[in-house]
Structure 1
Amino acid sequence: MSEEERIKELIRKLEESYIEGKISEETYRELKAKYEAQLEEIRRAGPPAPAAAPQPPPAPALPGRGVFDILGDAFSFCTTNYIVFIPFIAAAILTSLISIAILGSTFAGWPRPWRAPPQYGLGGLSFIGSAIILYAFLVFLIYTVLEGWTVAMVSQGLQGRPIDLSLGLSEALGKIVPLVIAGIVVSVAVTIGLILCVIPGIILFVLLALTTQAIMIDDHDAIEALSVSFNIGKNNFFTIFVALLIPGIAYFIVAFIFSEIIVVPVVSTIVSSLIGALFMTYFAVVLTMIYYEKRKTIVV
């Protein structure tokens, strides 16, 4: 019963009581005036607003993508955005040239490159060691920056933005300090883990695999990025491990096949570098997708 109907019912009963002599005329007039005033107020206010339609129940939360879904999505992304391969291909070419310039001249004509000619003695060994250290540092620097470049471009694509080579490189160069610091920490930690026992090195590699993504996507500094990657890796260890293991096995199989087919050393080295560039790009896409999916639950 609405409020208006209730008041009308009260007026009807009031009139019955007055007719039956149960109330005085004064009381009757007073109450009737009161009820009619309430009725008029309700009529001026207009009809009551209709009840809101019941809201549908919230949709159930979709489960996170499985590791094979991520691997498939990463493959589709790579096959529709070929531009993301450019940084690592450039890195492969550049490091090959550096290798020829530094190590090629160092070991030229030596039948056994791992042994210094006796006539060079300790001086020759010192020169070889310096050349190897210089080469390793340049390769580390190149791949660190170009990995950040790749992640920046993949991030653009995943956000639905046009993939811009120059913008991605600019972002990577702008974050070169945290990239290098984090890269050194990861390299040292993983190397120590591998030396002490292989398994700790693998575990650390998986836990810190998303460090570059944390720097490039969310602007974390080196220490924050290591912490973010560690926390995501701790909660999603199996996903990251399998996402790295399966393409890793595929890479070794493909590289082995080509090394058996191509017998010319120079050509084999170039082809091996290009294959490595393709797979490293794929790894970067996979890890960036994992980071976007898992980062929202992590607080530094």
Structure 2
Amino acid sequence: MELGDAIASTFRAVGQNLVPFLVISAIVVLPTVIVQTILEVLIYNVTQQSLASTRPEEALSMLGLLSLGYIGVLGLIMLMYAFGQGAIMYLTVESLVGRKASVGDAVRAVLGRIVPLVIASFLVAFVTGIGAMFCFAPGIIAWIWLSAALPACLVERLGPIQSMQRSIELTEGHRMTIFLIFLVLFGGFFGVTLCVAMPARLAGGMTPGAIPNPLDPLQLAAKLVMFVVQLGSTMVLSAAIAVVYAKLRGLRDGVDAQALARVFA
């Protein structure tokens, strides 16, 4: 598997399916952004009440409960990520064989596998998180080894654990190339995020230790810009995982994109 070919195939798939990719990415990103913004507004209001109150204990207790809401946000992220990864996998495979699929086709292909996809997504995140707790490098290594787990779960209809084992098998001998592919893509989006987020924070008047008002026009504008960046990263990174999986299947199993597409027929 060649670095340049995989990246070129990724952007070609995104370009050929821009509208459905955008729709799927919006379905993935928008609910999380809305829920997170609501939590930020509630936390901001409770914090202001706590600062103004002579008895801040009740407000602080409520603040602790609201902070637990971020656990729900993480769960929502995993659910939507699993859905989006599966849907974009379907659209990418169809693109690789020269066919155009609709958003409805992608949704139907994923819904029947949504439970194992969500479980596999949680397990991959858990293992990667455990690795990252000890040192950043083990977390990266774990993610590379398990990067093909969700596509394997969807296409090969494996259970979550079997999908992770299959990913380890598929990525063997190609892990450095996979690392470089995602290093380039993550590096690009990290650079864009820095260029966008830092000016937005400065424009929003943020000072160290200050809690910004989430409904401030400048903060809303910054969120809108970051939403666009998230759409782009969701499309490209999900398509890249699908392309990597398809190429690994071709190299290791001799299975071409036509055979992968027949799974969804």
Q: 2:47·2:59 contact (CA, 8 Å) conserved in 1?
A: no
Measured after TM superposition, the shift of residue 289 of structure 1 is: 1.4
Matched to 2:220, the amino acid is: V
What aligned pairs does 1:142-181 form with structure 2 within 5 A after superposition?
Answer: 142-181=80-119
Distance in 2, matches of 1:190 and 1:246, equals 20
Gaps of 5+ in 1: 1-64
2:66 aligned with 1:120, yes or no?
no
Point out the structure with max Rg over C-alpha. 1
Normalised to the residue count of structure 1, the TM-score between the two structures is 0.71
Matched to 2:36, the amino acid is: S
Q: For residues 161-215 of structure 1, what are the alpha-carbon distances to aligned partners after superposition, in whole Å with 9 as ceiling and x for unaligned?
A: 2212111111211111111111111111011100111111110011111111112
Distance in 2, matches of 1:225 and 1:294, equals 14
**2:144 alignment counterpart:** 206
What aligned pairs does 1:7-46 form with structure 2 within 5 A after superposition?
Answer: none
Q: For residues 231-284 of structure 1, what are the alpha-carbon distances to aligned partners after superposition, in whole Å with 9 as ceiling and x for unaligned?
A: 122221011101100011110111111223433222112211221221221112
**1:254 alignment counterpart:** 192
Say which of 68, 77, 80 aligns to 1:139: 77
Q: 1:84·1:154 contact (CA, 8 Å) conserved in 2?
A: no
Measured after TM superposition, the shift of residue 126 of structure 1 is: 3.9
Measured after TM superposition, the shift of residue 112 of structure 1 is: 11
Q: Which runs of 4+ in 1 moved over 6 A?
A: none
Measured after TM superposition, the shift of residue 122 of structure 1 is: 6.6
Gaps of 5+ in 2: 204-217, 255-265
Q: 1:103·1:132 contact (CA, 8 Å) conserved in 2?
A: no
Between 120-129 and 226-235, the greater mean CA deviation after superposition:
120-129
**1:71 alignment counterpart:** 7
Between 226-235 and 255-264, the greater mean CA deviation after superposition:
255-264
Matched to 1:72, the amino acid is: A
Larger relative contact order (CA 8 Å, sep ≥ 6): 2
Say which of 207, 213, 219 aligns to 1:265: 219
Normalised to the residue count of structure 2, the TM-score between the two structures is 0.79
Q: 2:39·2:66 contact (CA, 8 Å) conserved in 1?
A: no
Distance in 2, matches of 1:77 and 1:204, equals 26
**1:84 alignment counterpart:** 21
Q: 2:17·2:100 contact (CA, 8 Å) conserved in 1?
A: no
Distance in 2, matches of 1:290 and 1:93, equals 26
Q: 1:151·1:285 contact (CA, 8 Å) conserved in 2?
A: yes
Q: For residues 32-84 of structure 1, what are the alpha-carbon distances to aligned partners after superposition, in whole Å with 9 as ceiling and x for unaligned?
A: xxxxxxxxxxxxxxxxxxxxxxxxxxxxxxxxx41112111211221222122
SS of the residue corresponding to residue 235 of structure 1 reads coil
Q: 1:88·1:143 contact (CA, 8 Å) conserved in 2?
A: no
**1:293 alignment counterpart:** 247
**1:13 alignment counterpart:** none
Q: 2:82·2:121 contact (CA, 8 Å) conserved in 1?
A: yes
Distance in 1, matches of 2:228 and 2:176, equals 29
Distance in 2, matches of 1:230 and 1:208, equals 6
Distance in 1, matches of 2:236 and 2:3, equals 14
Say which of 116, 123, 140 aligns to 1:185: 123
Measured after TM superposition, the shift of residue 144 of structure 1 is: 1.8
Q: 1:190·1:205 contact (CA, 8 Å) conserved in 2?
A: yes
2:8 aligned with 1:100, yes or no?
no
SS of the residue corresponding to residue 235 of structure 2 reads helix
Distance in 2, matches of 1:75 and 1:279, equals 12
2:212 aligned with 1:274, yes or no?
no
Report how many aligned residue pairs link the two structures.
232
